[in-house]
Amino acid sequence: MDAKKPIRVTVWNEYLDEQKRKDITDVYPEGLHKTIADFLNRAGGIEAKTSLIGDPEQGLSGEILDATDVLIWWGHVHHGKVTDQAAARVADQVRRGMGIIFLHSAHRAKPFTALLGTSGRISWREAEERCRVWTADPAHPIAAGVPDQFLLDREEMYSEPFGVPEPESTVFISWFQGGNVLRSGLTFRREYGKIFYFQPGHETYPSYHHETVQRIMINAARWAAPLVRVADRDCPNDKESLERIDV
């Protein structure tokens, strides 16, 4: 990656119900994707665009993904509408180096379970409860400038056990008012692609307006940007050896 070139982020969203529900438009008038893209574009060094499930090829065409360094995925109740082909394209691009950030209920998105190979199961509760996010790995680049802990006045409760493989790093752990806890900020690597899962972001709560949540997502976009992006190729037969093989 050329350090001078901005990181190209695509913020993908379902956006099928949100524009019809006042409890959501009150918090995110133009959709969560627009709020997220706006603060990323203000961060410097990031060029964020948006795409939606209603766009051609579900906003996940080869052309869009080829021009994306980091894909941010927000999906909630329409995971099943994402075609297997679109999900496979996303997973393939991650394996070849594209970074991906799965937000909130994306723990059940098709590319998430395809890449991690597990169910992504959690338990949940919508009860307007407080959520305290703890920085478990302050030395991780995603935690740069993030306090030891911060409070979200309202979040949807997600609880352990969380059906994911052992992560590369547990960057954040969240405590919920009702007593539950979740490993809420996790990193993984699949082949050349970096993956970050981050739990805050229920659609009727203002988490993406929270300065520290924004800081974490800006850090994550920078961290997940590819160091290499390998070509789409099969397994070539390397017939011509570099050195002579004496048999």
Tell me if 155 contacts Zn ion by CB under 5 A.
Answer: no
Stretch binding Zn ion (CB under 5 A), from 55-63, 95-103, 151-159, 236-244: 151-159
Which lies closer to Zn ion via its Cβ, residue 108 or residue 202? Answer: 202
Which lies closer to Zn ion via its Cβ, residue 89 or residue 202? Answer: 202
* Alpha-carbon torsion, ordered 95, 98, 104, 107, to 10 deg: -10
Identity of residue 196: F
Min separation Cβ 119 and Zn ion, Å:
18
Min separation Cβ 154 and Zn ion, Å:
11
Stretch binding Zn ion (CB under 5 A), from 37-45, 156-164, 213-221, 229-237: 156-164
Min separation Cβ 201 and Zn ion, Å:
7
Tell me if 156 contacts Zn ion by CB under 5 A.
Answer: yes
Which lies closer to Zn ion via its Cβ, residue 64 or residue 186? Answer: 186
Min separation Cβ 97 and Zn ion, Å:
30
Which lies closer to Zn ion via its Cβ, residue 124 or residue 192? Answer: 124
Question: Mask of contacts with Zn ion, 108-147, x by CB under 5 A?
Answer: ----------------------------------------
Work out the number of other CB atoms within 10 angstroms of the CB of residue 151: 12
Among 79, 89, 96, 202, binds Zn ion (CB under 5 A): 202
Which lies closer to Zn ion via its Cβ, residue 75 or residue 193? Answer: 75
Which lies closer to Zn ion via its Cβ, residue 18 or residue 156? Answer: 156
Contacts to Zn ion by CB under 5 A = 156, 202
